[in-house]
Structure formats: C-alpha cells, structure tokens
Amino acid sequence: MSKPILVVGSLNMDLVARVARHPRVGETLLGGDFQTFPGGKGANQAVAAARLGAAVSMIGCVGSDAFGAALLAAVEKDGVDTAFIRRHPAAASGVALITVSQDGQNTIVVAAGANGQLTAQDVLSAEAAFEDAGAVVLQLEIPLPAVEAAARLGRKHGAMVLLNPAPAQPLSDGLLALVDYLIPNQTELLHLAGLSDPDQAARALLERGVRNLVVTLGEQGSRWVSPVGQKDAPAFAVRAVDTVAAGDAFVGAFAVALAEGRPVLEALRYGNAAGALAVTRAGAQPSLPTRIEVEKLLHS
C-alpha cells in the first residue's frame, strides 16, 4: 500500500484542436475536431496517482467559474481530496490551448489564471496535508514561492520531494537542495542546465547538488542518474494517438511506486508503462491508466 501522495500544482481546462500539422508563426490553419479535457500538470499527476490506487490530496487554486467547478469535479471523481484547492473570487481558471497533430505530438500554451494566484501562504496554511504524505509532487505551473514553500514543508515532514520542472525555468540551488527526485524531459533538462548536450547537462545538475535525476526520454523510456551511476528503463512500444499528459502519467506512477517502497528501477518501469498507456488515448486526464492496465502491460 502506498503512503499518501500530496500534489501541489496546477489545474487547467485543456482546449484541444486536432491538426494535420502545427501552425507556423503568422499562419492560420483549419483544424479538425475540437474537444475540452480536464488537465493541468498538477491535476493530471494527482489523478494519475489516484487511478493507481494511492490516497491523493491536492493544493491548488481554480477560479469561481464554470471551468473551476468542472476541474474540481474531475479530480474528485477519481477520489482526489480537494479540501486545500482554493476558489479564487476574481481570477479565471487556468486554461491550456493545445494542438495535437496526426502523429500524436502536441504544442501547449498555458494561460495560468488562478494557478498564478497560489501563494506560499496558501501552502503554509495547508501544512496539515503534509503531515502523513509519503511523497510531495511538484511542477512549475504555479508561482515559485509556492513551490519552494511546499518543498520545504515536504522535507520538514519527512516526505520524498519530487519536482517535475515543467515548464522549465531557471531554478535556484536552494530549491534543488530540497528535492529528492528532479524529473525533467530532455528539453527541460537542457534548459535547466543551460547546455546543449544531455550528458553534460545531467552532470552539471548533479554538480549543483541534485540527488537523483530522472529524465523521461519519450520513445526511449527513462533514465535515472545519480552520483553513484545511471540506469535506463526501456519504453513500451505503443501507437501514439495523443502525447498530452504522458509525462504526467509517468510522474504520478513513479511517485506511487516510490511511495510503495519499490526500488528506483522498478519505479521507472512503472512510470514508463503508465506513460505508454497514456499516449494511446486522447486527452489529458481521460488518458491516464488504471492500476490494472499498468500491471497488465508490465506483465505482458
């Protein structure tokens, strides 16, 4: 049984258009189907963990609008505890404008809205949620002071702190020192290190004090790099329909596996399986797999 997981992060309504290809700057394209899906990296990772059987609570902020109500209802349907998700009286709920091409690749622009109103004080006021957490899971779609407050409280209460640095932005050594697992994709890895070579970027982050670096590599699986060496876990071969939230499926599943006390390599495989299943279905939260689906793929 997993220890409880606490996610501190964003909730967005995803506005998704299918496209034959992504538009160039200044270009108008006629797209295909339009759909809305509940999303946001924080909410996706919370739902990913909940579908795998973990007890999950979330700290976040949505607007007092129809999207906010729908985003809360979506995570609650999967059993995520929303007691610490604030409803902002004035800000609009976060939205993500997404295009998905025929090969499943995506572009995403996030208008943070209420997510940008989550304060360090909101996080401190929710300290009770940290008390029994086995893992605190963070991303960068909320303001950095809120992320830092959550990382500090996570360490104070003895939880593992996982940071998915997406969207990538420069991070202080002070924040990196609070993190047990830093989980970027390849693009984010290079951005964080300010380098163009992935191996050099990984080494540079370890030199800055990162304890465990977990890099998601898409069709190549995932890699764990630590001061004592590195290990790879291969991807599961699937046909990509929509890659939105594949990284979130990985992070949620990786967190659950670690919180269950599994070794890192097994947690990577668990994350890879969840990520693979997520790309076979459309939408963010609707694409996230159940525990039965993940175990079936792992044992196939």
- Using CB under 6 A as the binding rule, whether residue 150 contacts ligand RIB is answered as no
- Determine contact, residues 71/64, Cβ cutoff 8 Å: no
CA distance 230 to 69: 43
CA distance 173 to 205: 9
Minimum CB separation from ligand RIB for residue 183, in Å? 12
- Using CB under 6 A as the binding rule, whether residue 140 contacts ligand RIB is answered as no
- Strand order of the β-sheet with 5-8 is 81-88, 56-63, 5-8, 135-138, 160-163, 181-182, 212-216, 222-226, 229-233
Segment interacting with ligand RIB, rule: CB under 6 A, options 39-47, 145-153, 190-198, 228-236: 39-47
Among 149, 225, 244, 278, binds ligand RIB (CB under 6 A): 244
- Using CB under 6 A as the binding rule, whether residue 188 contacts ligand RIB is answered as no
Segment interacting with ligand RIB, rule: CB under 6 A, options 6-14, 68-76, 211-219, 225-233: 6-14
CA distance 292 to 179: 30
Minimum CB separation from ligand RIB for residue 11, in Å? 8
Kindly report the CA angle at 278 between 224 and 176, in degrees rounded to 5?
Answer: 35
Among 8, 16, 41, 118, binds ligand RIB (CB under 6 A): 41
122 is catalytic: no
Q: Which residues bind ligand RIB (CB under 6 A)?
A: 10, 12, 14, 39-41, 44, 96, 108, 110, 141, 244-245, 247-248, 284
